[in-house]
Amino acid sequence: MKFLKLKKVPVVTWSSPQPLNLRPRLSTLFYLCVGLSIFGLGEATLVSANVGVSPWTVLAQGVGRMAGVSLGLATLLVSVCVLLFWIPLKQAPGIGTVANALIVSLAIELSLRVLPQPEAISFQLAQAVAGVLLVGLGSGIYLVANLGPGPRDGLMTGLARRTDLPIAGVRTTLEIAAVAVGWSLGGTIGLGTVLFAFGIGPAVSLGLHAVGLIFTGANAD
């Protein structure tokens, strides 16, 4: 379980030297796109399992009910608030921050057209677990590219860096907090929600650790 102690994103040969890089190498862009595509596939896999939405969707549901706005607008408001937390954390955006929204959305859209929707609870849970692991792997690849994280991943890595706490623990804490606040505001949770909340932190940390081990020259400690 060494990966659970990981406190920083590994650096490999194709990592960008800085997030705000407008002329990244093709290899860096390639892995960014691959990681985000796998991330989107994982999100779609969780959605098609139909056992509960992600913690941040629960939060958006709660905010939407409280503010009387649509889920889409509530999701946008939550994302903006998360981005504001980047300022004191000195978290830098990049082209990956923009690509996160575009590529992940496209990957989800395309994946939902072909993914099965199991009816047996055992298959639903198995698919949900697969979704969490895929999101973790995709996160690990695109974060190592270091071209800028998405809002939630930036909050995760920024807090881990400033507090010197393991990434897995920081992410799990954020997910549980999102579920708790969202549920208290009227959001709905399911087995998949709980699975994601407790599983995504270790899954992301495992993904980062795996990328660091596979590509030589990485610091996977």
The answer as to whether 3 is a domain residue is no
Dist CA 125 CA 46 (whole Å): 9
Q: How many CB atoms lie within 10 A of CB 119?
A: 8
| Per-residue model confidence (pLDDT) at position 221 | 44
The answer as to whether 18 is a domain residue is no
Helices of type H across 91-166: 95-112, 121-145, 151-163
Spatial neighbors of 198 by CB under 8 A, at least 6 apart, are 172, 175, 176
Q: What is the token pair recorded at 127?
A: 């698919």
Please tell me the pTM assigned to this model: 0.93
Q: How many domains are contained in the chain?
A: 1
| Per-residue model confidence (pLDDT) at position 134 | 97
| Per-residue model confidence (pLDDT) at position 216 | 67
Q: What is the token pair recorded at 213?
A: 């081990």
Contact 29, 46 (CB under 8 A): no
CA 30 distance to own-chain centroid: 19
The answer as to whether 200 is a domain residue is yes
Residue 110 structural domain: 23-212
Spatial neighbors of 35 by CB under 8 A, at least 6 apart, are 137, 138, 139, 140, 141, 142, 143, 144, 145
| Per-residue model confidence (pLDDT) at position 72 | 86
Name residues of the chain where pLDDT drops below 50.
218-221
Dist CA 9 CA 80 (whole Å): 24
Q: What is the pLDDT of residues 62-75, one digit of tens each?
A: 999 999 999 889 99
| Per-residue model confidence (pLDDT) at position 219 | 45
The answer as to whether 141 is a domain residue is yes
The answer as to whether 180 is a domain residue is yes
The answer as to whether 179 is a domain residue is yes
The answer as to whether 220 is a domain residue is no
Contact 3, 209 (CB under 8 A): yes
| Per-residue model confidence (pLDDT) at position 157 | 96
The answer as to whether 27 is a domain residue is yes
